[in-house]
């Protein structure tokens, strides 16, 4: 699914916590068509067993899933930079 020619820089993997809740893991700078982002989101949500959404082109997952997401994205051929 990953196309290294179309992904000029590593995807950014970060975690943020709001005022309350378990926080959100974000995958930013993915260069792909929005429908493919939705498919990737669905696939990763199923693998992680969590909820999530695409907001402003950024994949967001409920909870702290940085380690598992990094493994999944590397397996798909993406370079990952954790923030």
Q: How far is CA 51 from CA 2, 41, 46, in A?
A: 22, 9, 9
Domain span at residue 72? 11-82
User: Is residue 2 in some structural domain?
Assistant: no
Residue 62 maps to a domain = yes
CATH number at residue 36: 3.30.780.10
Could you list the pLDDT tens digit for every one of the 83 residues in the chain? 555 447 889 999 999 998 888 899 999 999 989 999 999 999 999 999 999 999 999 999 999 999 999 999 999 999 999 99
Whether residue 6 is contained in a domain is answered as: no
pLDDT number for residue 7: 80
How wide is the angle at C-alpha 61 spanned by C-alphas 46 and 26, nearest 5°?
A: 135
Residue 5 included in any domain: no
Distance CA 40, CA 23 (A): 21
Number of domains in the chain: 1
Global pTM reads 0.88
**Residue in 14, 19, 3 with CA at minimum distance from that of residue 64:** 14
Look at residue 4 in the predicted model and tell me its pLDDT.
Answer: 47
Residue 58 maps to a domain: yes
pLDDT of 28: 96
């Amino acid at each position: 699914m990953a196309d290294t020619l179309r992904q000029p820089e590593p995807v950014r993997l970060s975690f943020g916590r709001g005022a309350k809740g378990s926080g959100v893991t974000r995958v930013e700078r993915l260069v792909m068509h929005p429908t493919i982002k939705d498919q990737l989101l669905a696939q990763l949500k199923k693998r992680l067993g969590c909820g999530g959404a695409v907001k402003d082109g950024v994949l967001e997952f409920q909870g702290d899933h940085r380690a598992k997401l990094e493994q999944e994205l590397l397996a798909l051929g993406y370079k990952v930079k954790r923030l």
